[in-house]
Structure 1
Amino acid sequence: MSNFVLQGAEAHYGATRVLGPLSISVDEGEHVALIGKSGAGKSTLLSLMYDRWRSQSVALMPQALGLVDTLSVFHNVYMGRLDRHRWWRNLATLAKPWKRDIDEIVALLEEVGIAEKRWTPCGELSGGQRQRVAAARVLYQQGELLLADEPVSALDGPQASSVMEKLTRGYPRTVLAMHDLELALSFCTRIVGLKEGAIVLDAPSETLSAAALQDLY
Structure 2
Amino acid sequence: MAAPLAALTGESLGWGGHVALRDVTLRIDPGERVVLLGRSGAGKSTLLAAFHDRITERTALVPQDHGLIGTLSVFHNVWMGVLDDHGTARNLRTLVWPRKAERARVEAVLQAVGLTGLGQRPVAQLSGGQRQRVALGRALLRQGAVVLGDEPVTALDPAQGGALLDHIAGVFPTVVLALHDMGQALRIASRIVGLRDGRIVIDAPTADLSESDLLTLYR
TM (normalized to structure 2)?
A: 0.94
- Summarize the alignment of residues 105-184 of structure 1 with structure 2, pairs less than 5 Å apart: 105-184=106-185
Contact 1:80–1:138 (CA<8 Å) still a contact in 2? yes
From 1, 5, 8, the equivalent of 1:6 is: 8
Gaps of 5+ in 1: none
- How much has 1:51 moved relative to structure 2? 1.8
More displaced stretch, 15-24 vs 78-87: 15-24
- How much has 1:89 moved relative to structure 2? 0.7
> 2:62: which partner in 1?
61
Q: Secondary structure at the match of 1:176?
A: strand
Tell me the C-alpha RMSD between the 2 structures. Answer: 1.4
Query: How far apart, CA to CA, are the structure 2 residues paired with 1:30 and 1:49?
Result: 14
Query: How far apart, CA to CA, are the structure 2 residues paired with 1:152 and 1:3?
Result: 24
> 2:212: which partner in 1?
211
Residues 53-83 of structure 1: per-residue CA shift (max 9 Å, x gap): 2x43122111001001011111111000000
- Alignment identity in percent? 46
- How much has 1:16 moved relative to structure 2? 4.0
Gaps of 5+ in 2: none
Query: How far apart, CA to CA, are the structure 1 residues paired with 2:15 and 2:147?
Result: 25
- Number of equivalences: 216
- How much has 1:13 moved relative to structure 2? 4.1
**AA of the residue aligned to 2:37:** I
- How much has 1:24 moved relative to structure 2? 1.1
> 2:104: which partner in 1?
103
Query: How far apart, CA to CA, are the structure 2 residues paired with 1:75 and 1:203?
Result: 40
Residues 86-143 of structure 1: per-residue CA shift (max 9 Å, x gap): 1111000111111111111101110111012111000100000000110010011111
- How much has 1:15 moved relative to structure 2? 4.0
Contact 2:10–2:23 (CA<8 Å) still a contact in 1? yes
**AA of the residue aligned to 2:61:** L
- Summarize the alignment of residues 73-88 of structure 1 with structure 2, pairs less than 5 Å apart: 73-88=74-89
Query: How far apart, CA to CA, are the structure 2 residues paired with 1:102 and 1:14?
Result: 41
Query: How far apart, CA to CA, are the structure 2 residues paired with 1:86 and 1:17?
Result: 39
Q: Secondary structure at the match of 1:147?
A: strand
**AA of the residue aligned to 2:200:** I
Residues 150-179 of structure 1: per-residue CA shift (max 9 Å, x gap): 000000022101110111111111110010
More displaced stretch, 165-174 vs 7-16: 7-16
More displaced stretch, 17-26 vs 169-178: 17-26
Q: Secondary structure at the match of 1:24?
A: strand
> 1:49: which partner in 2?
51
Q: Secondary structure at the match of 1:117?
A: coil
Distance verdict in 2 for CA 1:12–1:113, change over 3 Å: closer
- Asked if 1:200 is matched to 2:201, the reply is yes
Contact 1:112–1:162 (CA<8 Å) still a contact in 2? no
Contact 1:41–1:196 (CA<8 Å) still a contact in 2? no
